[in-house]
């Protein structure tokens, strides 16, 4: 690198969302994320690229923090600090545009994320579903339905897609979920 100036993280305004960020979040999920941040702190991470000035990861977490604390956050070194003194580290990287974009997508790719073992997940959540955090964190959506669905549900339409392979099935499922559709996998 030839005398490229490297930005230092000096203020919160530098944490600009990447304009190409493909991730989105609905208001209910953002509220749940805010509750998670309040209850557990940051269990994922915020990453900022000093070279471009863009967030690489943590767009939704930062939005939830700003929403939760009504914009009254501060920066201390490379940590976001809430009015209550909670600290959220910001990992600072120095990447070119291509590496930044790849990392942005990889941070949330369902193709490199694990899957829940439904029986184990049900066992973990069944003992804590009375917690005040259970509904706001949307954990009820992870439980296997315990009651059969109603016979007639107005304005619900279903589409059945036949796939030749399990891989194709996973790709179609992930695409539909990514587009915001409620999906389930049926095997015959």
Q: Give the number of other CB atoms < 10 A from CB of residue 187.
A: 5
Tell me, yes or no, whether 2 lies in a domain.
Answer: no
Task: Residue 55: count other Cβ atoms within 10 Å of its Cβ.
Answer: 22
Give the list of residues 6+ apart from residue 75 with CB closer than 8 angstroms, or none.
9, 10, 11, 12, 81
- Residue pLDDT, tens place only, 104-157: 888 877 777 677 788 888 877 877 766 777 778 877 777 765 444 445 555 667
Answer with the one of 111, 132, 156 that is the final residue of a domain.
Answer: 111
Domain ends where: 68, 92, 111?
111
Sorting pLDDT into bands at 50, 70 and 90, what band is 5? very low
In the listed set 111, 138, 154, which residue is the last one of a domain according to the structure?
111
Based on the fold, state whether residues 34 and 103 are members of the same structural domain: yes
8 A C-beta contact, residue 25 and residue 60? yes
Q: Determine, yes or no, domain membership for 5.
A: no
**Could you tell me the pTM of the whole model?**
0.61
By C-alpha distance, which of 110, 113, 105, 121 is closest to 172? 110
So what's the pLDDT on residue 154?
Answer: 58
Number of H helices, E strands in the chain: 5, 5
> Residue 146 domain-assigned?
yes
Within a domain: residue 65? yes
Task: Please give the residue range of the domain that contains residue 56.
Answer: 12-111
Same domain membership, residue 69 and residue 154: no
Mean pLDDT computed over every residue of the chain: 81
pLDDT, tens digit, 9 for 90 and up, residues 168-183: 888 888 888 888 888 8
Q: Which of 183, 159, 157, 180 is nearest to 170 (CA)?
A: 183
Residue 155 inside a domain? The answer is yes
- Of 88, 84, 64, 66, the C-alpha closest to 75 is 88
102 and 18 fall within a common domain? yes
Q: For residue 36, how far is the Cα from the chain centroid?
A: 11
pLDDT digits (tens, 9 = 90+) for 64-109: 999 999 879 999 999 999 999 999 999 999 999 999 998 888 887 7
Q: Number of folded domains in the chain?
A: 2
CA distances from 80 to 88, 121, 125, 178 (A): 5, 32, 31, 30
């Amino acid at each position: 690198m030839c005398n490229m100036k490297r930005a230092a993280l000096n203020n919160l305004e530098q944490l600009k969302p990447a304009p190409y960020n493909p991730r989105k979040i609905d208001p209910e999920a953002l509220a749940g994320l805010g509750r998670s941040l309040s209850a557990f702190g940051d269990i994922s991470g915020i990453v900022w690229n000093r070279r471009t000035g863009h967030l690489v990861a943590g767009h939704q977490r930062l939005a939830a923090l700003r929403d939760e604390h009504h914009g009254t956050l501060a920066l201390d070194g490379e940590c976001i600090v809430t009015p209550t003194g909670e600290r959220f580290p910001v990992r600072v990287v120095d990447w070119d545009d291509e590496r930044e974009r790849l990392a942005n997508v990889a941070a949330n790719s369902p193709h490199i994320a694990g899957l829940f073992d439904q029986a184990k997940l049900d066992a973990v959540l069944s003992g804590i579903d009375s917690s005040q955090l259970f509904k706001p964190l949307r954990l009820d959506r992870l439980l296997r339905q315990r009651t059969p669905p109603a016979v007639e549900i107005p304005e619900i339409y279903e589409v059945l897609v036949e796939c030749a392979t399990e891989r194709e099935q996973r790709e179609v499922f992930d695409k539909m979920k990514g587009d915001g559709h409620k999906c389930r996998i049926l095997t015959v």
